[in-house]
Chains A and B, each alone.
With several copies, the nearest count.
Chain A
Amino acid sequence: MNAEAIHTEVKAETTPYFDAPLKMSAKNVSVYYGDKRAIDDVSIDIPQRYVTAFIGPSGCGKSTFLRSLNRMNDTIANARVEGEITLDGDDIYRSGMDVVQLRARVGMVFQKPNPFPKSIYENIAYGPRIHGITGSKAELDEIVEQSLRRAGLWDEVKDRLADSGTALSGGQQQRLCIARAIAVDPEVILMDEPCSALDPIATARIEELIDDLRSRYAIVIVTHSMQQAARVSQRTAFFHLGKVVEYGKTSDIFTNPREERTKDYITGRYG
């Protein structure tokens, strides 16, 4: 863990701001499921080219908050978001915002690998096709290869692009999903416990991959493993009961938490 190569940072009292340029920013966001408030007045900034980890005990609202960043919450009938979330300064909840385009810019990878029951090639080509990014077969081939390469899957699958995506192993499937997400070249990638269904070896590969990807994208990852957060992220937000208890540099959170609750959690007093 080379935690030392860090820039100087401006530290605010309660919400930490970073010198890194902001990609997304949430201000006083609350999310409701019907009457139930799952996220309570959360403000967080997502910096460009960093990995931001959300940790916290089960049910504290990590997934809920993550899904509100690309409006995947819209698909849940009774979910409602209050407050402001911006992408490059543009409010994603403003009326007239196009969800379809938003989601192309803010990609998502889920807990359980969910490749489409189509060929590997089609899985990757799906996004570029529907968005009309390219019409030519050659360009599409190029995009597929590029994406698979970046996801570190190309060598394993290049000879069987026509096989079904569901025929891959769990870890390969998850990398396929990541490749699928980056095929439309998003600006932010959200990952909700991307390794929780994987074995340790596959997990390690994904973690490496995440570290690679961050050179191009802003990445947000939800994880229930503090070890994983410590390994892959530079920023960590600790959620508890729908609130962000603490948000800051990962190294600070793990070695020198400001809040008692964070400390209790980190040291295993609960969770």
Chain B
Amino acid sequence: MSDPVNNDAVTPGERSELQVRRNAMMVRGLARRKAADRWFRWLGFIAVAFSGAMLAFLLVNMTSAGVGGFQRSEVRFAIPLAGAMQIDAERLTQPDPLGGLELAGLPKVVEDAATAGLGSDGLLADGAWREVATTLIEDPSLLNGTLRVSLPASDPLANAQRGDGKVALQPVARKLVSEGKLVRAFDKGFLSRSDATSPQSVGIWGALKGSMLTMFITLILAFPVGVLSALYLEEYAPKNRWTEWIEISINNLAAVPSIIFGLLGLAVFLAIFPNFRSAPLIGGMTLALMTMPVIVISGRNAIKAVPPSIRDAALAIGASKVQVVFHHVLPLALPGILTGTIIGMARALGETAPLLMIGMRAFVASAPSGFTSPSSVLPVQIFLWSDEIDRGFVERTSAAIVVLLVFLLLMNGIAIYLRNRFEQRW
């Protein structure tokens, strides 16, 4: 233990010449450096704020445009039903009451009433009488009175109300609006109907159900395969050329453009199952191939995050490899795997391009009945509608986007919640 006094250098309590000089110089530069630091911080903040603003802009833009899409133009008038048709209330309780009403001439009665009430024909949507018929079947007693109805307007009138379409109709529309006979009303059928020709009568349910069926197939294929591959690669795979190939292909598949998967689905799946063109089964299989690598990668990260000490602990009391993996590693990695899966599924839910390649851009007027019946999916429906001629589809497209975004935000929200909830620091 040496404790000598060193006399060669500075005297105690003083600073060397360099130290003094340095301190003086530093003070001079300090303000500038501080300012640079603040600037840099601001730039970062601006970058984040820009992204946030874009997101807000996009969401607000879509929602505000989409609100109109949940509405439809309706015309209001009265239908004098008493004595208009040769049909009694009794008939409406028997089978096929709709056919009975049609036979009795309800379509014409409704149309005439519309013409009379609105002052010109062609303002009521085709098939609007069916809504009247439904009302009547629910309450046959209405047959004897005058029914005040609010029925969908025809497409040209609806367009005219927005100031689009046929020029001649626009003054008519303005007049009807001022009289309170033409209104925009919430269209509750939008969520329960399927695709149609007229924007006044389209709905999103068919595509939504198609998306759900497709996602189901994707999930049951991609999840087990993804998790098992992740387990293999993290826990079992020896380091050799084969497993390296597996790793490389998984990492690459995660970044292969989605449209290429569409080409694969077209060339392979549709060649094997030509019967199932446009079906959620094929769509789900194609998307599963896309989603699987995402699950594998997030799964591997989650598995990697399980501390080796847990594995050691289990091994050291004589647990076998499979027991270690299934008793300890997998349960601990599960929240992470689920998070990755949800994010992968959300991506698949929004995927369009590959499905265009495998026939899911079909017009399907009824909700799909199963995994093998032709169907559309939400994003493709959006794409199809965005290409429609009728301007009434513009709002409908935004409304469909809102529906899709709601689902995606929900899924992302769950994923984020899961991650925060189960985030583990070991």
Contact = CB atoms under 8 A, between A and B. Distances in A.
A230 B3 CA distance: 12
Given A2-B1, A130-B319, A101 B26 contact: yes
Interface stretch (A24-32, A54-62, A102-110, A239-247): A102-110
Interface in A100-140: 100-105, 107-110, 112, 114-117, 126-127, 130-133
Given A2-B1, A3-B2, A233-B1, A132 B313 contact: no
A181 B67 CA distance: 63
Contacts of B16: 185, 216
A114 B307 CA distance: 9
Contact of B317 (A50, A75, A103, A254): A103
A20 B6 contact: no
A177 B315 contact: no
A101 B30 contact: yes
Contacts of A108: 312, 316
Nearest to A103: B318
A19 to B, nearest CB: 10
A130 B318 contact: yes
Contact of B310 (A50, A114, A215): A114
Interface in B3-34: 3-6, 8-10, 12-13, 15-16, 18-19, 21-23, 25-30, 33-34
B3 to A, nearest CB: 4
B149 interface: no
Question: Majority SS of interface residues in chain A?
Answer: loop
B328 interface: yes
Question: Majority SS of interface residues in chain B?
Answer: helix
A5 interface: yes
B26 A133 contact: yes
Contacts of B19: 105, 185-187
B239 A77 contact: yes
Given A49-B12, A77-B238, A132-B26, A114 B2 contact: no
Contact of A251 (B1, B309, B315): B1
B18 to A, nearest CB: 5
A98 interface: yes
Contacts of B33: 100, 130
Interface in A29-45: none
Q: Give the one of B9, B27, B319 with max A CB within 10 A.
A: B319
A172 interface: no
B6 A49 contact: yes
Nearest to B17: A185
Nearest to A254: B1
Contact of A104 (B2, B9, B26, B34): B26
Interface residues of B, number: 45
Contacts, number: 141
Interface string A62-94: 000000001010010100000000001000000
Contact of A1 (B1, B311, B318, B327): B1
B359 to A, nearest CB: 47
A184 B3 contact: no
B5 A2 contact: no
A185 B15 CA distance: 10
A126 B317 contact: yes
Interface string A182-195: 01111100000000
B23 A105 contact: yes
Contacts of B4: 2, 5
Interface in A230-259: 230-231, 233-234, 249-251, 254
A131 B18 CA distance: 13
A116 B318 contact: no
16 contacts: A3-B1, A3-B2, A20-B12, A21-B12, A75-B311, A75-B312, A101-B27, A101-B318, A114-B310, A116-B313, A126-B319, A130-B323, A131-B25, A131-B26, A131-B29, A133-B21
Interface of A: 1-3, 5-7, 20-21, 48-50, 70, 72, 75, 77, 88, 98, 100-105, 107-110, 112, 114-117, 126-127, 130-133, 177, 180-181, 183-187, 211, 214-216, 230-231, 233-234, 249-251, 254
Given A108-B316, A130-B320, 16 more contacts: A2-B2, A49-B9, A49-B12, A101-B30, A105-B19, A130-B317, A130-B318, A132-B28, A184-B317, A187-B19, A211-B2, A214-B6, A231-B1, A234-B1, A234-B3, A249-B1
